[in-house]
Amino acid sequence: MEQVKKLLLAAFVTKDETDKFLTDLEDNFKIKKDSVFIYQLTDEDDKFIITFRLFVKAGKKVNLKKHFKNTIPIHKKGDCIYTINALNKLIESESGLEAGNINHKEYVIDWAKHQGKLLLINSDNLAFLNIARIFPI
C-alpha cells in the first residue's frame, strides 16, 4: 500500500473568490465542497479562510505557492487554527522563557482560551484573529 502524507491547509480568500476557489479545488484536486470548512474572520466582513486536506503521495513534492495562492499549512485543536511558528511563539509567550530554554513538546497549552481563534505570526508578532465557522455561502 502506497504511503500518503496528509496536509491540512488554509486558504485566505475574499467572499468574491470563495466560489472560484472551491470549484478549482474540486476540478484540479478532486476535493469536494462538502469536505472543506469555511471560516470568516469576524473582525473583517470580506475575509474568509477555507480549510481543506490535501493528500500527497510519500516522496512527492507539491508547490503550494504555485497551486494555492495565499495558502499556508496549518494545524487545528478544537476550534483553534494555528501555524507551528505561532504555536512556538505562544509557548514562549505563555512560559516567559526564551526559545532555547523551553521543551515545546512538554509544555501544556490551555486550548480552551484559544477556541474561535486563528493564531498566526504577523511581522514576527503573535496574532490572535477571531474566526467563526460558516456554512457554504
For 19, 41, 89, 109, 114, the CA distances from 38, given in Å and listed in that order, are: 11, 10, 25, 25, 18
Each residue of 51-76: pLDDT tens digit? 999 988 887 777 777 878 899 999 99
φ, ψ at 51 (rounded to 5°) = -105, 145
Average pLDDT over residues 126-135: 93
Q: Which residues of 10-32 are buried (b: 16+ CB within 10 A; e: fewer)?
A: bbbbeeebbeebbeebeeeeebe
Domain range spanning residue 58? 4-134
C-alpha cell at 3: 504511503
Pairing between strand 117-122 and 80-82? parallel
- Helix H or strand E encompassing 55: strand 47-57
Instruction: Match 501544556 to its residue by C-alpha cell.
Output: 108
Average per-residue pLDDT for the chain: 88
Segment 4-54, tens digit of pLDDT:
889 999 999 999 999 999 999 999 889 999 899 999 999 888 999 999 999
As for how many domains the chain has, the answer is 1
pTM of the model: 0.87
